[in-house]
Amino acid sequence: MKQRPRVVILGGGFAGIYAAMELEKAVRKGEDIEIVLVNKENYFVFQPMLPEVISGTIGILDVVSPIRRLLPRTDLHVRDVEEIDLEKKLVITSPGFRPHPHVIPFDHLVLALGSVTDFRGLRGLPEHAFPFKNLGDALNLRNHVIRALDEASIERHDETLRKQLLTFVVAGGGFSGVEVVAELNDFVREVARSYPGLDPREIRIVLLHGGERILPEVAERLALFAQDILMRRGVEIRLKTVLEAATGDAAILRGGETIPTKTLVSTVPSFPHPLLEALPLAKGKNRRLLANRHLQAEGRTDVWALGDCAVVPQTDGTPSPPTAQHAIRQAAVAAHNIVATLHGRALRTFDFKGLGKMGALGHRSAIAELPGGIKVSGFLAWWIWRSIYLVKLPGWGRRLRVASAWSLDLLLPAELVQLKLGGSRGVTQEHFEPGQEVFRQGDLGDRVYLVMSGQAEVWRSVDGVEECLGQLEPGDWFGEMALLNETTRGATVRCTKAMDALILPKSEFSVLAANLPDLRRSFERVMEGRRGGAGMGVGGKRDSV
């Protein structure tokens, strides 16, 4: 029996979902093709509304739609794509319940994996900055912000910590950065009223942007309007300011200035999915895949590249901007051309110029650049923004939910529930800058550290006089004494050369130490050595590092 041609779509964002929708239309008209879509999650995220999850203006589930309901004729694989073999025409996805490889052969492949916020090479950002791309990011950030406010409201002794907890920094003054900072600002300032221990004047919301004005994507007049309105609502806008590094306590700017904070969000820099880097396909600016105006990856007739992971030329030759509206139109052209290729028919050309640009600024205001060069700002722009996105949301059920959430938001105060989803975070990594304290003498011992790179010194204070007990180098463990002895830290560890450390929380360390006698013994030998004067010689029964 002749196999149906199989179209495999990688990525269930705007590009992938709309390509599958168009292909399903062709199937409904009698086209005999098999559509497979691989996506990490079983839902589609409507990213333009994601910032509203921070404030809870709309429900967490209102920005997502289950893919199976959107695409009833598509075979959905909720998996991670792990490998793409263009020569053998195969896609390999991550294992499911059983660890066996899962291989999907294809006749046509649609690459629609979007972009990733990639902090590689930026000191401390992978460990300490919040990205903002998917539902998990939005939820994490919301939970973290509520936790920071809860902590600040009861932190009455440590002024520095209180300042860090009440300062929120967003890096990137493009559309997503501006929308995030606007929502964050509205949310934090509104809910702060529910905390008797917080003075709103202590709250600091900062937007960092490398350019001369925020929103370089829109006309200057609108960008200045946005700038002015955000500043009036209390957002501190730092232009020509580049974020260079981060620690768990501060955002570090180029030039050395630091902003004390426990909350740093970065919407930049964005790159195509790392999987695509390894493919033998032509790449353009920012490592995105080069596509032609038929949406074929350069040099291929069976591989299609669209959405944020591709450089797709517009009519005038300039690359399409990475927006949902472009991804949707590219998806329609690609789907049409896949079917046309199967029948040897003429291909269609991508010919979309964009319908305008819009960005929400919170507090019922927005900016919009509409077709025909019409520029609108303020409440009217906000109303247009909401109406357009409501219509664009896939499915009537979602639209109804969002419309009612928006209506209720006009009457009710912002939702302040912190959804604690996970237990322990397991092994994590942290970055420290010179001068930063990893922990202080007298702190509770809550974790063990392994130095991966950089250096730190151990200092003990006796009757106000500090003495250096030793130096920590890559490969050294520290922090275990206070955990094994169930005591407080017996010394202060201070970073002296930019340091990355692996962190094992107390609960995991205790399980390992209790069940791996060799591990416990090796830590005890290190402790003995330190007590005996070798190495740092810190500790004692009551206070330990």
Enumerate binding residues for ligand FAD (CB under 6 A): 11-16, 38-41, 47-48, 50-51, 80-81, 112-114, 132-133, 175-176, 179, 273, 275, 307-309, 322-325, 327
Task: Provide the minimum distance between the beta carbon of 263 and ligand FAD in the complex, in angstroms, as a whole number.
Answer: 17
Of 307 and 479, which has the nearer Cβ to ligand FAD? 307
Task: Provide the minimum distance between the beta carbon of 508 and ligand FAD in the complex, in angstroms, as a whole number.
Answer: 27
Task: Provide the minimum distance between the beta carbon of 245 and ligand FAD in the complex, in angstroms, as a whole number.
Answer: 23
Sheet holding 263-266, edge to edge: 129-130, 263-266, 167-171, 204-208, 235-238
Of 173 and 307, which has the nearer Cβ to ligand FAD? 307
- 372 conformational bin, left if phi > 0, alpha if psi -120 to 50, beta if neither: left
Of 40 and 204, which has the nearer Cβ to ligand FAD? 40
Of 47 and 164, which has the nearer Cβ to ligand FAD? 47
Q: Where are the alpha helices (DSSP H) in 155-298?
A: 159-165, 175-191, 220-232, 274-277
Count CA within 13 A, CB hemisphere, residue 162. 13
Task: Provide the minimum distance between the beta carbon of 426 and ligand FAD in the complex, in angstroms, as a whole number.
Answer: 21
Of 141 and 451, which has the nearer Cβ to ligand FAD? 141
What are the phi and psi torsion angles at 514 (to 5°)? -75, -30
Contact 123, 498 (CB under 8 A): yes
DSSP per-residue letters across 60-90: GGGGEEEHHHH-TTSEEEES-EEEEETTTTE
Cα gap 458→471, rounded to integer Å: 6
Of 331 and 482, which has the nearer Cβ to ligand FAD? 331
Contact 266, 113 (CB under 8 A): no
Residue at 529: amino acid letter: G
DSSP per-residue letters across 440-507: -TT-B--EEEEEEEEEEEEEEEETTEEEEEEEE-TT-EESHHHHHTT-EESSEEEEEEEEEEEEEEHH
Cα gap 307→111, rounded to integer Å: 9
Closest CA to 494 of 538, 440, 454: 440
Task: Provide the minimum distance between the beta carbon of 67 and ligand FAD in the complex, in angstroms, as a whole number.
Answer: 9
Three-state DSSP at 541 gives coil
Task: Provide the minimum distance between the beta carbon of 66 and ligand FAD in the complex, in angstroms, as a whole number.
Answer: 13
Task: Provide the minimum distance between the beta carbon of 184 and ligand FAD in the complex, in angstroms, as a whole number.
Answer: 12
Task: Provide the minimum distance between the beta carbon of 545 and ligand FAD in the complex, in angstroms, as a whole number.
Answer: 41
Task: Provide the minimum distance between the beta carbon of 453 and ligand FAD in the complex, in angstroms, as a whole number.
Answer: 28
Cα gap 281→373, rounded to integer Å: 37
What are the phi and psi torsion angles at 425 (to 5°)? -90, -5
Of 52 and 500, which has the nearer Cβ to ligand FAD? 52
Three-state DSSP at 144 gives helix
Residue at 116: amino acid letter: V
Task: Provide the minimum distance between the beta carbon of 446 and ligand FAD in the complex, in angstroms, as a whole number.
Answer: 33
Largest CA distance in the chain: 87
Q: Which residue is nearest to ligand FAD (CB)?
A: 13
Task: Provide the minimum distance between the beta carbon of 417 and ligand FAD in the complex, in angstroms, as a whole number.
Answer: 22
What are the phi and psi torsion angles at 96 (to 5°)? -100, -130
Cα gap 234→205, rounded to integer Å: 7
Of 307 and 539, which has the nearer Cβ to ligand FAD? 307
DSSP per-residue letters across 314-362: -TTSSBPPS-HHHHHHHHHHHHHHHHHHHHTPPPP--------EEEE-S
Cα gap 64→135, rounded to integer Å: 8
Distant-in-sequence, close-in-space partners of 242: CB < 8 Å, separation ≥ 6: 208, 210, 253, 254
Of 48 and 454, which has the nearer Cβ to ligand FAD? 48
Task: Provide the minimum distance between the beta carbon of 512 and ligand FAD in the complex, in angstroms, as a whole number.
Answer: 31
Of 89 and 392, which has the nearer Cβ to ligand FAD? 392
Task: Provide the minimum distance between the beta carbon of 15 and ligand FAD in the complex, in angstroms, as a whole number.
Answer: 3
Of 81 and 545, which has the nearer Cβ to ligand FAD? 81
Cα gap 459→438, rounded to integer Å: 11
Of 18 and 439, which has the nearer Cβ to ligand FAD? 18
Of 48 and 470, which has the nearer Cβ to ligand FAD? 48
